[in-house]
Each structure stands twice: as structure tokens, then as C-alpha cells.
């Protein structure tokens, strides 16, 4: 006699169904047993995915208020950044003529500054760039002066870009901190 058994679990009860076969292969009987399993722990309601995957509470980021609290504009003034930008030809009237603010809005710079994922993305980009320079120098052969020049150019660009990405990540992270 051969017995086949199947089990199905429904919340807290288990249902076992057995089918008995004779040696000739014909079904001779069916038996069903129910077992109730009680849990000693209380069940918690399922939380939504957005609260369980390390997301912080979404409070609106007040960018201008944070700039004021950090006194970033007065620090830029004391460092002479505004006069250096004006000497380089970048004044408020030039920004207005070139339409840089509308371009920044078009490319989503302000929304990226308030996005909580931006600092992590910038940090990943900066580490990638900082690793790219030495990797490129290691992998590219030094057979002629052109390849050496390419190594130097890629190393300089990756160091400057990685440093700028790291600084931007730190700046955006500080701007996004709650007040």
C-alpha cells in the first residue's frame, strides 16, 4: 500500500490530505486531518515597504532657511568669492542675461538639492572618479608620449571631478540636515 500526502498551510491551520492506494494502483480511500497551530507571539501588522527600507520621514527641506542658518552667503562674501566671480565676468546681470537660473530650473538642480538620495549619489560618483584615475594610469601602457599625456589628463580630471563631487555631496548633505 502506497500513501501520497499533500499539505497546505492557511494562516494558522495545516490541512493534511492522504490518498491510500492499493498495490494495483487503485485509490482505496482518502483521509483528511486538520491540525491547528497556535503562535505564542502576537502578530504585528505589516508595515508598508516605504517605512521599512531605511527611508527617513519626509519633511520638506527648506533650502533657503538652511542657507540662512549656515550663513553660507556671508561666508562666501567674506571669502571673496563674490568679487572673484564678478572679476571673472559672472555678475547677477550676466546670470540674468544668460538665463542660468532658468537653465538650472530646467535641469532640475533645485529638485536634486532637495532630493534625499542626492548626497549618496554624489558620493558614489566622487569615489568612482577618484578610483578611475589610478586605474587608468595602471591599465594604459606607457609606450609613447601621447599615452602618458592621456594618463596625466585622465588622472587630473578624475582627481578634480572626484574632489568636486565629494565637496558637493558634503554641501548638499549639510543643506538637507533638519534645522
Instruction: Convert the pLDDT of each residue in 20-63 to its tens digit.
Output: 555 555 656 555 555 555 555 555 555 544 444 444 555 666 77
pLDDT digits (tens, 9 = 90+) for 130-166: 999 999 999 999 999 999 999 999 999 999 999 999 9
Q: Does residue 48 sit within a domain?
A: no
Q: Does residue 146 sit within a domain?
A: yes
Calculate mean pLDDT across residues 87-99: 84
Q: Does residue 51 sit within a domain?
A: no
Domain boundary among 95, 110, 125: 110
Structural domain of 12: 2-36
Total domains in the chain come to 3
Q: Do residues 165 and 132 both lie within one domain? A: yes
Q: Find the range with the poorest average confidence among 3-12, 26-35, 70-79.
A: 3-12
Q: Does residue 43 sit within a domain?
A: no
Instruction: Tell me how far apart the alpha carbons of residues 123 and 173 are, in angstroms, rounded to a whole number.
Output: 10
**Largest distance between two CA atoms of the chain:** 100
Amino acid at each position: 500500500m502506497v500513501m501520497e500526502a499533500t499539505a497546505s498551510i492557511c494562516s494558522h491551520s495545516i490541512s493534511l490530505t492522504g490518498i491510500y492506494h492499493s498495490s494495483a494502483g487503485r485509490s482505496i480511500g482518502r483521509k483528511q486531518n486538520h491540525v491547528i497551530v497556535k503562535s505564542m507571539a502576537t502578530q504585528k501588522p505589516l508595515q508598508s515597504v516605504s517605512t521599512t527600507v531605511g527611508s527617513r520621514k519626509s519633511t520638506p527641506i527648506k533650502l533657503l532657511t538652511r542657507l540662512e542658518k549656515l550663513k553660507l552667503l556671508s561666508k562666501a562674501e567674506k571669502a571673496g568669492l563674490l568679487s572673484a566671480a564678478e572679476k571673472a565676468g559672472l555678475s547677477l546681470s550676466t546670470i540674468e542675461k544668460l538665463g542660468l537660473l532658468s537653465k538650472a530650473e530646467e535641469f532640475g538642480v533645485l529638485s536634486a538639492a532637495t532630493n534625499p538620495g542626492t548626497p549618496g549619489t554624489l558620493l558614489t560618483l566622487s569615489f568612482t572618479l577618484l578610483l578611475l584615475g589610478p586605474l587608468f594610469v595602471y591599465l594604459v601602457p606607457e609606450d609613447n608620449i601621447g599615452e602618458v599625456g592621456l594618463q596625466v589628463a585622465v588622472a587630473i580630471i578624475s582627481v578634480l571631478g572626484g574632489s568636486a563631487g565629494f565637496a558637493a555631496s558634503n554641501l548638499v548633505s549639510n543643506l538637507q540636515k533638519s534645522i
